[in-house]
Chains A and B, each alone.
Chain A
Amino acid sequence: TQLLEQSPQFLSIQEGENLTVYCNSSSVFSSLQWYRQEPGEGPVLLVTVVTGGEVKKLKRLTFQFGDARKDSSLHITAAQPGDTGLYLCALFGGYQKVTFGTGTKLQVIP
Chain B
Amino acid sequence: DVKVTQSSRYLVKRTGEKVFLECVQDMDHENMFWYRQDPGLGLRLIYFSYDVKMKEKGDIPEGYSVSREKKERFSLILESASTNQTSMYLCASRGTGGFEQYFGPGTRLTVT
Question: How many whole Å from A19's CB to the nearest CB in chain B?
Answer: 19
Q: What residue in chain B is nearest A105 (Cβ atoms)?
A: B39
Report the Cα distance A40→B106, complex, angstroms.
8
> Closest chain A residue to B99 by CB distance?
A48
CA distance A45 to B98 in the complex (A): 12
Instruction: Give a binary string over B55-74; 1 marks a CB under 8 Å from any A CB, 0 the rest.
Output: 01011000000000000000
Closest CB of chain A to B50's CB: distance in Å? 6
Interface pick from A54-62, A67-75, A92-100: A92-100
Give how many A-B residue pairs fall within 8 Å (CB-CB).
54
* A42-B42 contact in complex given A1-B59, A96-B31, A96-B48, C-beta closer than 8 Å: no
Question: Does B103 lie within 8 Å of A43, measured CB to CB?
Answer: yes
Q: Which of B4, B41, B58, B90 contacts A97 (CB 8 A)?
A: B58
- For window 17-60 of chain B, which residues contact chain A by CB distance below 8 Å? 31, 33, 35, 40-45, 48, 50, 56, 58-59
Partner of A42, one of B4, B41, B44, B56: B4
Given the complex, which residues of A lie within 8 Å of B104, measured CB to CB?
42
Interface of B, helix, strand, loop or mixed by DSSP: strand
B31–A45 CB distance below 8 A: no
Number of interface residues of B (CB under 8 A): 25
Interface size on A, residues (CB 8 A): 23
Q: Within 8 Å of chain B (Cβ to Cβ): is A33? A: yes
Partner-A contacts on B (CB < 8 A)? 4, 31, 33, 35, 40-45, 48, 50, 56, 58-59, 90, 92, 94, 99-101, 103-106
Q: Which residues of A contact B (CB under 8 A)?
A: 1, 4, 6, 9, 31, 33, 40-45, 48, 88, 95-103
26 A-B pairs whose Cβ atoms sit less than 8 Å apart in the complex: A1-B59, A9-B40, A33-B99, A40-B106, A41-B103, A42-B92, A42-B105, A43-B90, A44-B103, A45-B99, A45-B100, A45-B101, A48-B99, A48-B100, A88-B42, A88-B43, A95-B56, A96-B48, A96-B50, A97-B45, A97-B58, A98-B45, A99-B45, A100-B35, A100-B42, A103-B40
A-B interface, 9 closest residue pairs, ranked by CB to CB distance from nearest: A42-B103, A100-B43, A102-B42, A100-B42, A45-B100, A48-B99, A103-B42, A43-B103, A42-B104
